[in-house]
Structure 1
């Protein structure tokens, strides 16, 4: 039985927050993915070491704990006002998924045949030109499917922000459930709305992947 329409407006308010958190966190995670991924291939040992510490810490600990840390700990350590929930969620999710994304970037770059690099060296390309014109365009094709999966996982992780008082989709569903007790209707609608957000993104990633690789194997 479809969820009554009177439940939809409040859930849509939460959906807007969910999409905002997802978009901001995904942008931050993408930037960090490339910075950390390239840093892990740096010729300087201290850069590789520092990046590996960041990656292992954020991949090896709970996202929920990281979110609580950003929300509760800085005011205690630095004697400042509490961090806004949106900013705490942005930092936790962006840094966490940036750590996972860095491995996608690193492994994709390493998957580019060495002959491509050797050919660009023979053409007297600078290191930056080799990276921008030869290596990254090929590596990016390999990154797309994994980044698409990571984006969907990131969207699902935004449900945790309700635990730091951010009024996202899950938070609004809990509020409705506590006041109306229409549990089956509310959480069925919640599932549908998360899917409605995720599926178009998945289709977009697949479309872009097909477009970016069109004619590559011809």
Structure 2
């Protein structure tokens, strides 16, 4: 099957680029939206809630089609690669926002009360007390979300991006070796997912040791 690997590896490289780009966008989007939903100020909480509900309540595929096919009709055209990264990043960030919100809410209330008793400002309480403890709670579900993002990159094959899935479809149509092609693709996705899972487990252990020292 060595003759099948080069085009699939090129597609895998593009898939990894999309995954990394979307993850870089999803992290700040999740953090800002999660903190916004916890805010008592309506001008912060309402936009955050709208963003989360719209992107969680609609299909990622429809979002992808809307950005790539509808926005050009409104005068804004994005390259397919950037459209894929934007949609998958914002879609993943909407789910990540709930992880951030739940993790911060899961920190014992006494921690915030102790910070207030020490005359710490709300901002200092958030960044120096609550968030460092919430990170350990965020990492396990964030790892699952990152793997889900990897699998969702297959959607970009529908907007002409030659990712791993699209490369496999082209190769199958050229060689008619369906079993070999999609078996290799299955293995590639699995290996990358396990690598991501291992990286997140490493971060979890480091966060646990930091929390223990604190």
TM-score (norm 1): 0.94
Q: Is the 8 A contact 2:34 2:101 kept in 1?
A: yes
Which of 143, 165, 189 aligns to 2:184? It is 189
Residue segments in structure 1 that go unaligned for 5+ positions in a row: none
* Aligned-pair Cα RMSD in Å: 1.2
**Aligned equivalents of 1:168 and 1:89: distance in 2?**
11
Which of 10, 13, 16 aligns to 2:13? It is 16
Residue 33 of structure 1: aligned partner:
30
**Aligned equivalents of 1:157 and 1:46: distance in 2?**
32
TM-score (norm 2): 0.96
Residue 176 of structure 1: aligned partner:
171
Residue segments in structure 2 that go unaligned for 5+ positions in a row: none
**Aligned equivalents of 1:159 and 1:186: distance in 2?**
15
**Aligned equivalents of 2:71 and 2:207: distance in 1?**
43
**Aligned equivalents of 1:202 and 1:50: distance in 2?**
32
Residue 6 of structure 1: aligned partner:
3
More helix per residue: 2
Which of 86, 89, 102 aligns to 1:91? It is 86
> What SS does the aligned partner of 1:40 have?
helix
**Aligned equivalents of 1:52 and 1:158: distance in 2?**
25
Q: Is the 8 A contact 2:135 2:207 kept in 1?
A: no
Residue 154 of structure 1: aligned partner:
149
**What's the offset of the Cα at 1:211?**
2.1
> Are residues 42 and 216 of structure 1, via their aligned partners in 2, closer, same or farther at CA, if it must alter by over 3 Å?
closer
How many residue pairs get aligned? The number is 213
**What's the offset of the Cα at 1:215?**
7.1
Which of 104, 108, 114 aligns to 2:103? It is 108
> What SS does the aligned partner of 1:83 have?
coil
